[in-house]
Structure 1
Amino acid sequence: MEKVDQAFIQYPQHRPNLTIIQPEHIPIIDLSPITNHTVSHPSPIEGLVKEIGNACKEWGFFQVINHGVSLTLRQNIEKASKLFFAQSLEEKRKVSRDESSPMGYYDTEHTKNIRDWKEVFDFLAKDPTFVPLTSDEHDNRLTQWTNPSPQYPPHFRDIIKEYVEEMEKLSFKLMELIALSLGLEAKRFEEFFIKDQTSFLRLNYYPPCPYPHLALGVGRHKDSGPLTILAQDEVGGLEVRPKADQDWIRVKPIPNAYIINLGDMIQVWSNDAYESVEHRVVVNSEKARFSIPFFLFPAHDTVVKPLEELINEQNPSKFRPYKWGKFLVHRLDSNFKKQNAENVQTYHYKIRE
């Protein structure tokens, strides 16, 4: 076995147990009732809304089938992703990201201060995307992030842009279903995205790892936005832990399905009715793994706080408000360098009882 790079090694309590995990199905939800209908007409979707609500409450994760996204489109982006990552490191680094321009290629990302065993390529849903220049609460200056223009594979940007449009459509349908499951108006979350958004698509490549019992493709974490839509290949590797005291559960891949997980922002908006769930990615010693997550993020000037409709005397607000753009820029810092302390997390805004 080759020498172990200490930058990738997880602390003993967080290392994967590769001997006892059996892949399992998280809830599988058929979206055909809304594939050709709008969410605004409630009669055909009452059962679907109930399923979504149960999955959100019990798991924080679910898979969707009959989602309306073209299989050809998904195959096109999967093929393009593999072609991009198959290039030499020199070629990939021509579109590298950095602290001032955080879209593009990167291979030294950290989660919880441990380096992930992966390479990524990030691409904004809206180009340009406006964000705060700094995380300083008193600094009102904005900057803009833009997408890189890789020369290979051919039509790479066009393929990604077409796929992103479909991810946005699916995201907004899911957000409407989640709103209805909370007893809200279907379009309740629309105001946070209609003017602008900071969403982005990520292409992940996890090379075969010689020490899968020590390293992780992505360390344990919770997503900070409202919603993530994940396409994973047949290799699998995603593990979730619905409750803090439970064992990790390997998510079994389903062909052409999408894995949906709630992020911290839904937990805040719902005032803890739904919970963001911890997850991670294990690596494989023999096979490479590819995945494509779409991270739905609101506009930078969004103030994140529990929705007024879900607060009352019996259920007071459980989170202090925070500004999404400042939070996002602060979080970004930890991707580029090891921190002396844990980076800002949503639970730092939790009101302690």
Structure 2
Amino acid sequence: MGEADEAFVQALGHRPKLSITEDEGIPLIDLSPLSSPNGANTKHIDDLVVEIGNACKTWGFFQVINHGVPLEKRQKVEDAMRKFFAQPLEEKRKVRKDEKKAVGYYDNEHTKNVRDWKEVFDFVADKRILMAASHEPEDKEVPETFNQWPDYPPELRHKDAGALTVLAQDDVGGLEVKRKSDGEWVRVKPTPDAYIINVGDIIQVWSNDAYESVEHRVMVNSEKERFSIPFFFFPSHYTMVKPLDELTNEQNPAKYRAYSWGKFLTTRKGSNFKKLDVENVQIYHFRVQELADKLERALSINSK
């Protein structure tokens, strides 16, 4: 067996263990009260809100069932996905994305400066995409780009716009979530026709850390291909992300400075295509405490 390409090698602290805890405690939430034929019951809706809130605080992840998404639509997307990725590499690369084309096919993506062992086809729900041209604050250019659609399969053009960040994974599974209580990695067992929902960084900032964006990863299966369909909900590029006013006060002051989502996303995407010499931008770079610590260190150095 040959040596692995160093581009794929994770740091020791990030490598998965051979034994993984399987799906203990990750909430499975029934959304049927939202689509009751007798109309929504206020108490049931209130209970559902509490259940989702607790899941976000405790895990940052949960699965939903009885969500109302027709199974045949999901199957249609999955069939198109498998047909597309089964094509020769040269066909898939005809719609390849790069630093100028924001969406399309890609097989050389990096996460936290380590190359991912995966292939991706990105597209957005809107017909056009507006993204900041660069991370520089004074650069006001917002170029427009569009989805790239392959000639085959044509079904891949079908899309359903949504309002949540959701993941559909196949029966191979492999998604692992870092449990907040003890830092243990927990495998999310595939549930038929369920969707996985997780809290992202923006919700963590909006909620002023009431809800946490937890670490997660995917374990490579050496015997089977794994397919998944994630939908990422992003705000508009001009959005300034900061803790919501309703959730901050003198006892619970804002823990983050406001930052431009468009600039943040453009900066993060820069590391998708190449390994950087430094860590890419993270939300903790905007924490108020981190700024205070930097100022304290600077004052300490100047006083010597």
Q: How well do the aligned residues superpose, as a CA RMSD in angstroms?
A: 1.8
Identify the residue that residue 195 of structure 1 maps to in structure 2.
none
- How many Å separate the matches in 2 of 1:155 and 1:89? 19
More deviation in 129-138 or 312-321? 129-138
The change in CA–CA distance for 1:41 and 1:308 in structure 2 (over 3 A counts) is farther
Total equivalences in the alignment = 290
- How many Å separate the matches in 2 of 1:127 and 1:36? 33
Deviation at 1:145, TM superposition (A): 2.2
Question: Does 2:216 match 1:274?
Answer: no
- How many Å separate the matches in 1 of 2:181 and 2:144? 38
Amino acid aligned to 1:106: Y
Question: Does 2:259 match 1:322?
Answer: yes
Amino acid aligned to 1:83: K
By relative contact order (CA 8 Å, sep 6+), the higher-ranking structure is 1
Deviation at 1:156, TM superposition (A): 1.9
Deviation at 1:14, TM superposition (A): 1.2
Deviation at 1:269, TM superposition (A): 0.6
Please state whether the residue corresponding to 2:126 is helix, strand or coil: coil
Q: Does the CA contact (< 8 Å) of 2:34 and 2:40 recur in 1? A: no
Q: Deviations over 1:285-315 (max 9, x none)?
A: 1011000100000001111001111111100
Q: Does the CA contact (< 8 Å) of 1:127 and 1:145 recur in 2? A: no
Q: What are the residue-to-residue correspondences of 1:222-237 with 2, within 5 Å? A: 228-237=165-174
Q: Does the CA contact (< 8 Å) of 2:127 and 2:147 recur in 1? A: yes
Question: Does 2:75 match 1:138?
Answer: no
Q: Which has the higher strand share?
A: 1
Please state whether the residue corresponding to 2:208 is helix, strand or coil: coil
Identity of aligned residues (%): 60
- How many Å separate the matches in 2 of 1:257 and 1:155? 22
Q: What are the residue-to-residue correspondences of 1:6-25 with 2, within 5 Å? A: 6-24=6-24
Q: Does the CA contact (< 8 Å) of 2:96 and 2:104 recur in 1? A: yes
Identify the residue that residue 147 of structure 1 maps to in structure 2.
147
Please state whether the residue corresponding to 2:22 is helix, strand or coil: coil
Deviation at 1:278, TM superposition (A): 0.6
Q: Deviations over 1:97-136 (max 9, x none)?
A: 0100020000010111110100000001112111211111
- Which structure is larger by alpha-carbon Rg, 1 or 2? 2
The change in CA–CA distance for 1:245 and 1:339 in structure 2 (over 3 A counts) is farther
Question: Does 2:227 match 1:290?
Answer: yes
- How many Å separate the matches in 2 of 1:244 and 1:50? 20
- How many Å separate the matches in 2 of 1:280 and 1:329? 22
Deviation at 1:317, TM superposition (A): 0.7
Amino acid aligned to 2:111: T
Amino acid aligned to 1:133: A
Q: Deviations over 1:157-178 (max 9, x none)?
A: 1x2x2xx32xx15x2xxxxxxx
Q: Deviations over 1:187-224 (max 9, x none)?
A: xxxxxxxxxxxxxxxxxxxxxxxxxxxxxxxxxxxxxx
- How many Å separate the matches in 2 of 1:112 and 1:56? 24
Structure 1 unmatched runs, 5+: 172-227
Question: Does 2:224 match 1:300?
Answer: no
Q: Does the CA contact (< 8 Å) of 1:95 and 1:150 recur in 2? A: yes
- How many Å separate the matches in 2 of 1:132 and 1:285? 39
1:259 is aligned, of 196, 207, 230, to 196
Deviation at 1:351, TM superposition (A): 1.0
Q: Deviations over 1:76-105 (max 9, x none)?
A: 001110000000001100010010002000
Amino acid aligned to 2:246: E
The change in CA–CA distance for 1:138 and 1:8 in structure 2 (over 3 A counts) is same
Identify the residue that residue 287 of structure 2 maps to in structure 1.
350
- How many Å separate the matches in 2 of 1:297 and 1:343? 19
Identify the residue that residue 240 of structure 1 maps to in structure 2.
177
- How many Å separate the matches in 1 of 2:23 and 2:135? 40
Amino acid aligned to 1:47: D
- How many Å separate the matches in 1 of 2:284 and 2:247? 19
Length-normalised TM-score, structure 2: 0.91
Question: Does 2:248 match 1:311?
Answer: yes
Q: What are the residue-to-residue correspondences of 1:1-353 with 2, within 5 Å? A: 1-24=1-24, 26-36=26-36, 42-157=42-157, 159=158, 161=159, 164-165=160-161, 168-169=162-163, 171=164, 228-243=165-180, 245-352=182-289
Amino acid aligned to 1:108: N
Q: Does the CA contact (< 8 Å) of 1:25 and 1:252 recur in 2? A: no
Amino acid aligned to 1:98: D
Structure 2 unmatched runs, 5+: 293-304
Q: Deviations over 1:17-75 (max 9, x none)?
A: 123443445100000111258x9974330110110111011010000001011100000
Length-normalised TM-score, structure 1: 0.79
More deviation in 141-150 or 236-245? 236-245
Amino acid aligned to 2:104: G
Amino acid aligned to 1:288: E
- How many Å separate the matches in 1 of 2:212 and 2:284? 11
